[in-house]
Structure 1
């Protein structure tokens, strides 16, 4: 069981007229991770304890940080 994760639900309460270009690396990473079959990402799931973050979301965040040459977990959080 994972926490709710829906990429179509991304929105800010602040009214910003900003759209990520279609050639931006964040979109490329998102398309790549979304192309991975869910059977591979969701192989081992725990059914006890606090719900985990979705593996696809964590992989997208990690790949984006690595693309920006940020390798420290603490710097990724920032």
Structure 2
């Protein structure tokens, strides 16, 4: 299987400090979402992605965004994008 996704790196550093990781407090609920979704086996979901066309965002990242938005009572895709 050779599916291409856009780069997805939570440990990415900025040109100048701080790193993205440093901006999120240790007790923030997004860390719980991240921990749970990192443990999920998403192979079946990933297999459904097309190998053709432009690379997609990684499904793991998109699932994290959706779960956290729903936890924060944001259901509209436009409001999720704005948040």
* TM-score of the superposed pair, with normalisation by structure 1: 0.81
Deviation of 1:46 (Å) = 1.1
Shift of 1:39: 1.6
Deviant stretches of 4+, over 6 Å: none
Cα 1:34–1:41 change in 2 (3 A) is: farther
User: Aligned residue for 2:66?
Assistant: 62
Q: Distance in 1 between matches of 2:62 and 2:23?
A: 22
Q: Give structure 1 stretches of 5+ with no counterpart.
A: none
Cα root mean square deviation, aligned: 2.0
Q: 1:8 aligns with which of 4, 11, 32?
A: 11
Residues 38-68 of structure 1 show CA distances to partners (whole Å, capped at 9, x for unaligned) of 4234121211111111000100001111011
Aligned equivalent of 1:52: 56
TM-score scaled by length of structure 2:
0.77
Matched pairs, number: 77
Unpaired runs of 5+ residues, structure 2, are none
Higher relative contact order (CA 8 A, sep 6+): 1
Tell me the distance in 2 between the aligned counterparts of 1:75 and 1:25: 19
